[in-house]
Amino acid sequence: MRETRRARLALGLLIVAALVLITVDRRAGQGHVLGPVRETVAALFGPFERAGAAVARPITEFVGMVRDAPGARQAIADLRKENARLRSELAAQRLDGSRAAKLDRMLGLAGLGRYRVVPAVVIARRSIPGFAETVEIDAGTKDGVRADMTVLSEHGLVGRVVRAGADMSTVALLTDPSVSVGARLEGGNEIGVVSGLGEAGGGDNFVKFRALDSTVSLSAGRRLVSMGSLRSRPYVAGVPIGVIERVENTPGDLVRTAYVRPFTDFSTLDVVGVVVEGPKRDPRDAVLPPEPRRDDAADRRAEARERERRREAAASADDALADRRGRDGEAGDLGPLGDEESADEDARPAARRGAPSGDRREDGRA
């Protein structure tokens, strides 16, 4: 008990002395007599303090990290959500900007043709019974859309509405093999029918044009517009269809065939317009885009490729003819005996024709 009391008394005295010294030192400042003592003590114990702090720092940081971990995880989750929201808003702004530009161009095309349209956005692409290539749009009967209405994009014809629901409609694309559109060549009255090729149209979604007159002149670069249907159903007149890329020359056919690259890019179809009211007059070629400026260098390269193709075709034809002649020569080579028999057979009619009458009688008696 006595030792405990002594220890307590000593500890109390030390604490009191420490408090007194701290108070006196703080009030006195650097100029006090205790200043040199403090500096000496700091110099002696400073390295130990720094070493202890260096050893304790990782522990204290770990303890603080464990203490703050729940809040840090929540902060990270909040930051991730915020980043996702910002990225979504940025993508939406870009998409809205792109769609706004497409909508503006589509309305400009509709204005040129005097078409009254209902804008819509493609929301799905699928096939339905009877049609292999169709898209769903977010406009329906509530918006005035009906079946057998023309659908166009900012570049040209897309197809026609085949089903109309209250809020959505189904559009059969121009590239569908079941779709046929009356078409007219730019700058004239030559007409024909454009039909979809489906997968046979390749990545460029080519369609086929059949001119009803076999004497009509078809060439690459000529453009097509829709001819129009009775009362503008299902197709209004004057909508750009595409440009001829290749002409198929088949002698004896009653119709001429060409392959057309559509103006509309069906692989990136987005904003479209449904024509709910057609023009009172046929716009003819007024809706067609301006013809692109001709590139002389590209023309020269195309001509060089065409010359090379013709040269290769001529060389192939010559080789085939030479092979055929060789086969004919081998079939006619019958050997020496065959040659003599052939010569005798050829000489006999000649002898009969050139022989005198007496000889002919002798031959007859013989």
Burial class of residue 276 in the structure, from the number of CB atoms within 10 Å of its CB (0-12 exposed, 13-18 middle, 19+ buried): middle
Domain assignment present for residue 314? The answer is no
Q: How far is the CA of 11 from the CAs of 21, 42, 87, 215, in angstroms?
A: 15, 23, 65, 123
Task: Please report the pLDDT score of residue 188 as a whole number.
Answer: 86
Q: How far is the CA of 316 from the CAs of 150, 321, 323, in angstroms?
A: 48, 9, 11
Domain assignment present for residue 37? The answer is no
Return d(Cα 89, Cα 81) in angstroms, integer: 12
Task: Please report the pLDDT score of residue 33 as a whole number.
Answer: 57
Domain assignment present for residue 332? The answer is no
Return d(Cα 9, Cα 296) in angstroms, integer: 110
Task: Please report the pLDDT score of residue 43 as a whole number.
Answer: 66
Domain residue limits at 182:
108-292
Task: Please report the pLDDT score of residue 92 as a whole number.
Answer: 62
Task: Please report the pLDDT score of residue 365 as a whole number.
Answer: 37
Domain assignment present for residue 358? The answer is no
Domain assignment present for residue 66? The answer is no
- In this prediction the pTM is 0.57
Task: Please report the pLDDT score of residue 359 as a whole number.
Answer: 41
* Tokens read off for 142: 């509530």
Return d(Cα 272, Cα 99) in angstroms, integer: 10
Return d(Cα 244, Cα 260) in angstroms, integer: 4
Domain assignment present for residue 58? The answer is no
Domain assignment present for residue 187? The answer is yes
Task: Please report the pLDDT score of residue 284 as a whole number.
Answer: 92
Task: Please report the pLDDT score of residue 201 as a whole number.
Answer: 79
Domain assignment present for residue 339? The answer is no
Task: Please report the pLDDT score of residue 78 as a whole number.
Answer: 76
Return d(Cα 107, Cα 116) in angstroms, integer: 9
Greatest Cα pair distance in the chain? 182
For the chain, how many structural domains are there in total? 1
Where residue 219 sits, what CATH number does that domain have?
A: 2.40.10.340
pLDDT in tens, the chain (366 residues): 566 777 778 778 878 777 776 776 666 555 555 566 666 666 665 676 677 667 777 777 766 766 666 776 777 777 777 777 767 666 666 657 788 889 999 999 999 999 999 999 999 998 899 999 999 999 999 999 999 999 999 999 999 999 999 999 999 999 999 999 999 999 888 999 999 998 887 877 899 999 988 888 889 999 999 999 988 899 999 999 999 999 987 766 778 899 999 999 998 899 999 999 999 999 999 999 887 665 555 666 666 666 666 677 677 666 766 777 666 665 555 444 444 444 444 444 444 444 444 444 334 333
